[in-house]
């Protein structure tokens, strides 16, 4: 039976009896084959609502429909449910791996977006979403989130003390990664690109200095070590602005060595 004919039969059957889960499942699978993905998701949902057996095949199929709709978070949820029901299903492990590998930033953005909605005063949520966005090339959105993160992080630092410095610092890495995106943007003229890179670099460094100020003497060495080792800042390390602030210091003259009697005034 052709898919379109099958759909007509399933629709007729459901009109007569909407409470049969098996018909809804068959209809959902046919809708998926017809690339009517949203309807397929709804039909699988109806099957489960009617206490249809929650077998792995149902979650596998709905996961595929969700993925085709660009709903990677929901797709992973269904993949996870299918793996719970069939732990050794190699194809589902592969699918989950590819979804996570290729869509990690989108998934992260969705999680951070939910976190921002749940608690708009959470600086870490703003910074997390900003970093996910800049990794996807969304520089304006990332910068907006970074500034929202800094604003809230400064409040948190005032409440929690020097140990809250990472919430400020993380915004600087968003700006540094934005430099990388702008440097690769072939649509910009060289002058515009250079101007944007400089502005982003300067703002990143300003946030690092805010971090040092908020961290105080007790956190200074930890912050400076983080700045030195964090690969997220690599896009700005060779800039004149970065080197001016964190570049190598000129060697300091050593005091004259004392003579054997220990009297510095007799040193030759």
CATH number of the domain at 61, please.
1.25.40.10
Out of 75, 103, 131, a domain closes at: 103
CATH code of 198's domain: 1.25.40
Question: 130 or 96: whose pLDDT is higher?
Answer: 130
**Distance between CA atoms of residues 98 and 58, nearest Å:** 20
Q: What is the pLDDT of residue 257?
A: 54
Residue 50 falls within a domain, yes or no?
A: yes
pLDDT of 263 strictly over 50: no
Two structure tokens written together for 57: 């095949």
Residues 5 and 33 sit within 8 Å (Cβ to Cβ): no
Nearest to 49 by CA among 24, 69, 73, 12: 24
The CA-CA-CA angle for residues 123, 178, 160, to 5°, reads 20
Residue 265 falls within a domain, yes or no?
A: no
Mean pLDDT (the chain) is 86
Residue 171 falls within a domain, yes or no?
A: yes
Do residues 99 and 130 both lie within one domain?
no
Q: What's the average model confidence in pLDDT over 45-55?
A: 90
Number of domains observed in the structure of the chain:
2
Residue owning tokens 């609502």? 49
Q: What is the pLDDT of residue 98?
A: 62
Residue 182 falls within a domain, yes or no?
A: yes
Do residues 142 and 184 both lie within one domain?
yes
Q: What's the average model confidence in pLDDT over 221-246?
A: 93
Q: Which domain holds residue 157?
A: 119-246
**Span of 64-68, 157-161, 177-181, 227-231 with lowest mean pLDDT:** 64-68
Do residues 46 and 145 both lie within one domain?
no
Residue 111 falls within a domain, yes or no?
A: no
Which ranges of the chain does DSSP label H, i.e. alpha helix? 3-16, 21-33, 37-49, 56-68, 72-85, 90-118, 123-135, 139-160, 165-183, 190-229, 240-246
Do residues 89 and 178 both lie within one domain?
no
pLDDT of 63 strictly over 90: no
Does the predicted model carry a pTM greater than 0.85? Answer: no
Angle in degrees, 0-180, between the axes of helices 56-68 and 21-33, rounded to the nearest 10: 40
**Distance between CA atoms of residues 16 and 201, nearest Å:** 66
Do residues 141 and 35 both lie within one domain?
no
Do residues 134 and 222 both lie within one domain?
yes
Nearest to 64 by CA among 94, 104, 86: 94
**Distance between CA atoms of residues 125 and 203, nearest Å:** 20
pLDDT of 126 strictly over 60: yes
């Amino acid at each position: 039976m052709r898919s379109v004919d099958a759909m007509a039969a399933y629709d007729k059957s459901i009109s007569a009896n909407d409470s049969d889960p098996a018909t809804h499942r068959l209809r959902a699978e046919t809708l998926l084959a017809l690339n009517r993905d949203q309807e397929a998701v709804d039909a699988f949902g109806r099957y489960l609502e009617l206490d249809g057996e929650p077998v792995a095949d149902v979650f596998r199929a709905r996961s595929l429909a969700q993925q085709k709709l660009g709903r990677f978070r929901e797709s992973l949820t269904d993949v996870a449910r299918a793996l719970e029901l069939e732990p050794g299903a190699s194809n589902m492990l592969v699918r989950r791996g590819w979804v996570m590998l290729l869509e990690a930033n989108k998934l992260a953005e969705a999680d951070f977006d939910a976190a921002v909605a749940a608690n708009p005063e959470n600086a870490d949520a703003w910074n997390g979403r900003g970093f996910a966005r800049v990794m996807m090339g969304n520089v304006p959105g990332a910068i907006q989130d970074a500034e929202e993160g800094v604003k809230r992080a400064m409040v948190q630092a005032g409440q929690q003390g020097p140990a809250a410095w990472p919430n400020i610092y993380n915004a600087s890495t968003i700006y540094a990664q934005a430099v990388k995106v702008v440097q690769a943007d072939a649509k910009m003229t060289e002058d515009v690109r250079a101007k944007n890179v400089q502005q982003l670099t300067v703002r990143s460094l300003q946030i690092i200095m805010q971090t040092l100020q908020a961290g105080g003497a007790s956190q200074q060495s930890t912050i400076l070590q983080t700045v030195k080792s964090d690969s997220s800042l690599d896009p700005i390390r060779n800039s004149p602005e970065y080197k001016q602030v964190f570049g190598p210091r000129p060697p300091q003259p050593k005091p004259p060595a004392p003579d054997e009697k220990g009297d510095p005034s007799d040193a030759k």
